[in-house]
Structure 1
Amino acid sequence: MSDVRAHMTAARFDAIDALRGLVIVLMVIDHAREYSAGTGRVADPMQLSDVTPLLFAMRWITHFCAPVFTLLAGMSAGFTAADDHADPQHSDRGRAAHLITRGLVLVLLEFTVVHLAWTFSFVWPMRYAQVIWGLGVSMIVLGVLQHTPRLFRLLLGVACVAGHNLLDSWHPTEPALLHWLWAVLHDRQVMPLWGDLTVRTSYPVLPMIGLMLVGEAVGRWYARTAPETRVMWLTRAGALCLSLFLVLRLTNVYGDPHDAVFTGQALHDAMAVLNVTKYPMSFAFVLMTLGPALLLLARWDQAIPRWAAPLRTLGSVPMFLYIAHLYLLHATALLWAVLDGAALETFDFRTTIGGMPAGFGFPLWVTIPYALVIVLLLWKPAQWYAALRRSKRYAFTRFV
């Protein structure tokens, strides 16, 4: 690889990792908010009639996490494919096996390690199929489809992202297998497993599969395109996403199962436009979040700013930080409650998710400094794990 190409490769990965690192910080803020008091624990922090503008804004800014994570995961797969100059058939087999294995690992982690991080309980009866599950299933699908034409994968991805809202009114309940399948793909449901065990499909995966497939195509294009052309088209794509989002939301013609309701009050109407559906990610949701992400990626394509350099390290080990921050947030919240005077008998891990005592919670404004402290505590572990991954000493680091 020439020095110029090596520099271009390093620059593009710096931009990807920095963007992913920024999303990680937003993710920590979102999950830190789960331990705040009062309005921080409302059932739906985007319900305009029940929330303050501060809570709405704090929840809205974290909407970027899931779609950006998914797109960048697909792009990473695209980078690998574009940089592989071995025999194409052998490469397809190898990539397919790696993606399927990595996807299965993510699904397993969701229902074991991640589940325990949220509950701190071995007897909590509900399992949550959340973002790690969605990423895992999407990787498995991408792996299975590796032998199909690239154009087919791209078109299928676009159809899943842009077209799944056409199916919003379909809620099959019979036969049971179709009900289960649709709960996984499109309907957020609580489904029985056995005994008292249930699973909630928090992240229906159809739009995530689409984003993974689109991301792979973007990654292949990104890796083989001249810098100036990359920046131009990323900027155009980001502007197009935002423009289309505004058109769809202001007209309520398509793109989200819930129309924006306008009252003539400027703040309410602005929040109504931004209040789009996350579960599953609607077309409007994807446009709203990926537009700014693509514009920022274009801005950072050639070189990230100095202040964003730490984000590059965070973004290079996203799964490690995802797991670590959940355990650290939960453990420090429990310790906080003890220091705040909560009696030990009020910690109930059997009937209260997470075991937090009733009434515990810090003011909402504390969420951001609390989250930043967690990020700082994880900085050195992130550096250590990034070095461990680069060493390729252990095979498991290829999957986590």
Structure 2
Amino acid sequence: MNRATERIESVDLLRGIVMAIMTLDHVRDFFSGAQFGPMDLDHTTSAWFATRWITHFCAPVFVFLAGTGAYLSRRPKPELAKFLVTRGLWLVFLEIAFIRLWWPFSGGVVLQVIWALGWSMVAMAALVFLPLRALAVFALAMIGLHNALDGVHAEALGPFKALWMVAHESGAFSMFGATQIDVGYPLVPWIGVMAAGYAFGALLQGEVAERRRRIAWLGAAVVLLFIVLRAANVYGDPQPWSVQPRGALFTFLSFLKCSKYPPSLLYLAMTLGPALLALSALDRPGLARASVARPFLVLGRVPLFFYLLHLPLLHGAARLVGQNGYDLGTLYVVWIAVLALLYGPCHWFAGVKRRNRSAWLSYL
């Protein structure tokens, strides 16, 4: 069977949806006029909180589906491992040499999601040789147990401070005496998330109705896990929820405020559970071809190309009209405008990839 015919359009569609949502978060980064953090329960509003919270789905879903895509590629394992190493290192290079230049940060090197995605691919190059069940156990163990290490802090580890930050604790350190390295995305448990996505690919085999049922049950189980563990407030996130003086709504928002850096067990359950339910709902014959779904399908097929375009566009727009200072309604208008402007180039490049099976195109 031709690889082009093996694509599961619901996977591309979900990926495209989270790419669009990601853009909203980045528009907020560049143009927000809020004088408080959107997750700061003492000062935020429900609208600002929701705008930030919905974007929490992006990184976990994208990393998870990258693993799924690796499984569905059907490459022989040696060929797949070679691809994962080379593409992973390419992504790390892009993060350090290109992507960081467009962010509204001052100086230093900021290691973000593309960095984590790249090194997760490099790790997956070895993990794909494990039996699928062993790989799944490894993934679940990394995701489920890494919060047991929350009490270990880099500052107490002396010469191993930088290594621990890269592995598990967000923070900054200096390299070569001057360059500041800011680790936004420690690698644990992102490697486990990608490995879980790879193992999940096996559930996408077979007849559509049956796989939809399996995915829905799995998604519901993960959501239930989140609710039970979060309610217990004893494990799974270093930031317990609490009753808020601003009322029941903000107590509920406290319940949803889970730690992203690094992503806690509960953060991942809160995002991946609903994402699996959404994937089940999207996995319907013909849905991806509906006019309302087509733009997301296009974005989902060229995610890196879109990512590399949208940051310079936002950077340039911020330089042109001024960075920071816009209300939430204006941010949503800018968001829609950015998606509209980039749809044409993405549609063109998706066509190029469809018509041309050159290997180098798989790196964009």
Given the two structures, how large is their TM-score scaled by the length of structure 1?
0.85
Partner of 2:28: 33
1:185-200 correspondence to structure 2 within 5 Å: 185-200=167-182
1:35–1:362 Cα contact (<8 Å) kept: no
Match of 1:399 in 2: 363
Which residue is equivalent to 1:116?
A: 101
Contact 2:31 2:318 in 1 (8 A): no
1:301 paired residue among 279, 283, 303: 283
Aligned-pair CA distance for 1:225:
2.8
Aligned residue in 1 for 2:64: 71
In the other structure, the counterpart of 1:318 is 303
CA displacement 1:324-351 (0-9 Å, x = unmatched): 11111111121112xxxxxxxxxxxxxx
- Structure 2 counterpart SS, 1:258: coil
Match of 1:254 among 231, 235, 239: 235
Which residues of 2 match residues 121-136 of structure 1 at below 5 A?
125-136=107-118
| Mapped contact 1:117–1:323 kept (Cα < 8 A) | no
Offset at 1:31? Answer: 0.4
Matched, 1:62 2:55: yes
The one of 337, 347, 351 equivalent to 1:383 is 347
Identify if the C-alpha distance between structure 1 residues 6 and 383 changes in structure 2 by more than 3 Å, giving closer, same or farther: closer
Shift, 1:218, TM fit:
0.8
Tell me, in whole angstroms, the C-alpha distance in 2 between the residues paired with 1:34 and 1:70. 21
1:205 deviates by: 1.3
Match of 1:244 in 2: 225
Query: Against the structure 1 CA distance between its residues 247 and 174, is the aligned structure 2 distance closer, same or farther, given a 3 Å change threshold?
Result: closer
Q: Match of 1:15, as an amino acid?
A: S
Instruction: Identify the residue that residue 17 of structure 1 maps to in structure 2.
Output: 12
Q: Indicate the percent of aligned positions where both proteins have the same amino acid.
A: 37
Query: d(CA) in 1 for partners of 2:46 and 2:127?
Result: 43
Alpha-carbon deviations, 1:79-134, whole Å to 9, x = none? 01xx34xxxxxx221111100111000000001110112159xxx53111100001
Indicate conservation of the 8 Å contact 1:183/1:189, yes or no.
Answer: yes
Partners of 1:100 and 1:144 within 8 A in 2: no
- C-alpha distance in 1, partners of 2:363/2:117? 13
Deviations 1:294-325 (A, max 9, x none): 11110111232621121100110001111111
Residues 29, 368 of structure 1: 8 Å contact kept: yes
Deviation by residue 1:263-317 (Cα, 9 ceiling, x = unmatched): 4721111101110001111111111111111111101112326211211001100
Task: Say which of 137, 142, 145 aligns to 1:155.
Answer: 137
Cα deviation, 1:218-241, whole Å, max 9, x if unaligned, reads 11331x232222111111111111
Is the CA contact 1:36–1:364 (under 8 Å) kept in the aligned structure 2?
Answer: no
Matched, 1:228 2:209: yes
Deviations 1:343-393 (Å, cap 9, x if unpaired)?
xxxxxxxxxxxxx4xxx4211221111111000000110011112222336
Whole-angstrom CA distance in 2 between matches of 1:75 and 1:17: 11
Deviation at 1:394, TM superposition (A): 5.0
Asked if the contact 2:218–2:273 (Cα under 8 Å) also holds between the matched residues in 1, the reply is: yes
Where does the alignment leave 5 or more consecutive residues of structure 1 unmatched? 85-90, 338-355
Does the aligned pair in 1 maintain the 2:168–2:187 contact within 8 Å?
yes
Amino acid at match of 1:48: L
Please point out which of 298, 317, 327 is paired with 1:332: 317
The residue number in structure 2 matching 1:49 is: 42
CA radius of gyration, larger in: 1
Change (3 A) 1:249 1:174: closer
Distance 2:305 2:229 in 1: 37
Q: 1:125–1:196: 8 Å Cα contact kept in structure 2?
A: no
| Equivalent pair of 1:78/1:220 in contact (CA under 8 Å) | yes
Question: Cα–Cα, structure 1 residues 393 and 233, in superposed 2: closer, same or farther, change >3 Å?
Answer: closer
- Among 169, 192, 195, which residue is 1:213 paired with? 195
What's the offset of the Cα at 1:75?
0.1
Aligned to 1:266: 248
Alignment partner, residue 332 of structure 2:
368
Cα distance in structure 1, aligned partners of 2:155 and 2:318: 40
Letter in 1 for 2:69: S
1:31 partner letter: H
Contact 2:154 2:169 in 1 (8 A): no
Number of equivalences: 360
- Is contact 1:104–1:140 with CA below 8 Å preserved after alignment? yes
Listed as ranges, the gaps of 5+ residues in structure 2 are: none
Inter-partner Cα distance in structure 2 for 1:119 and 1:56: 21
- Asked if 1:292 is matched to 2:285, the reply is no
What is the CA-CA distance between 1:150 and the residue it aligns to? Answer: 2.4
AA matched with 2:20: V
- 2:28/2:331 contact within 8 Å kept: yes
Q: Closer, same or farther in 2 for the Cα pair 1:173/1:269, shift >3 Å? A: closer
Equivalents in 2 of 1:300, 1:230: separation in Å?
12
Equivalents in 1 of 2:108, 2:202: separation in Å? 39
